[in-house]
Chain A
């Protein structure tokens, strides 16, 4: 089984500042990693994913994340945030290959609030 811990439940930041949302995971098998964003009253939208290969992955809206296997982390970063980035962000993991069947285990979410 997999588990995900998002280390910050809320992250306030000023517009144009950099931000990092932290995510650690636990798994006894290889994993795929994802970040999803949820805007108010909307469903989840994929920001980026790590399946294999380069440990630095780039996603939509200027976000990127780095997979660190030794530290079992997948932190999300953006060098300069906008007001429109205000949303809740979810880190998720699934077992790679085998019978994972798309079963995602989500973290508890981090609410990013960007202040003007």
Chain B
């Protein structure tokens, strides 16, 4: 158990819909990262938050947005869903912010299926 909690574990929805994925980081970790894992793109970095502020952006679509709340949990919002958005979405957390020297702790992921 990494200590990172993601909900829901599985989600099935239709094209055009909007979903919210939730992540609770390990106790004491200030940074939260979102990654997308799909068969064709592999593991892709989406976005990072540190103590409530956005710190880095990767290959995140404009239809996707995220935020980190004062209690440090994070939500990834996916809207106007397309079939290609079907993937496993991972949240990870770490203590540090910039200049990584440590370990990312990954949750078990939220599997999104868009029909």
Q: Which chain A residue has the least Cβ–Cβ distance from B101? A: A51
| The one of B42, B98, B103, B108 that contacts A101, using a Cβ cutoff of 8 Å | B98
Which of A20-28, A71-79, A104-112 interfaces with chain B? A104-112
Does the CB pair B108–A43 fall under 8 Å? yes
B111 (CB) vs chain A CBs: closest residue:
A41
Q: Which of under 10, 10 to 19, 20 to 34, or 35 or more describes the interface residues of A?
A: 20 to 34
Contacts of B58 in A (CB 8 A): 103
Q: With A98-B99, A102-B48, A102-B100 in contact, do A42 and B42 touch (Cβ < 8 Å)?
A: no
Is A45 in contact with B106, judged by CB distance below 8 angstroms?
Answer: yes
Q: How many residues in B have their beta carbons less than 8 Å from beta carbons of A?
A: 29
Query: How far apart are B104's CB and chain A's nearest CB, in angstroms?
Result: 6
- Does more than half of chain A's interface fall in helix, strand or loop, or is it mixed? loop
CB distance from A69 to the nearest CB of B (A): 19
Q: How many contacts between A and B, using CB within 8 angstroms?
A: 71
B64 at the interface (CB under 8 A from A): no
- Which has the most chain A C-beta neighbours within 10 Å: B35, B42, B90? B42
Q: Are A108 and B104 in contact (CB under 8 A)?
A: no
CB contacts (< 8 Å) of B97 on chain A: these are 101-102
Instruction: List, in ascending order, chain B residues with CB within 8 A of A104's CB.
Output: 35, 43, 45, 104
Give Cα distance in the complex from A12 to B94, angstroms: 33
Residues of A with Cβ closer than 8 Å to B? 32, 36, 41-46, 49, 51, 90, 92, 94, 96-109
12 new A-B contacts, CB < 8 A, other than A43-B108, A106-B42, are A36-B106, A43-B107, A44-B90, A99-B56, A100-B100, A101-B100, A102-B96, A102-B100, A103-B48, A104-B43, A104-B45, A109-B43
Interface residues of B (CB under 8 A from A): 2, 4, 31, 33, 35, 42-45, 48, 50, 55-56, 58, 90, 92, 94, 96-101, 103-104, 106-109
12 examples of A-B residue contacts, CB within 8 angstroms: A42-B108, A43-B92, A45-B2, A45-B106, A46-B104, A92-B43, A96-B99, A99-B56, A104-B35, A104-B43, A105-B45, A106-B42
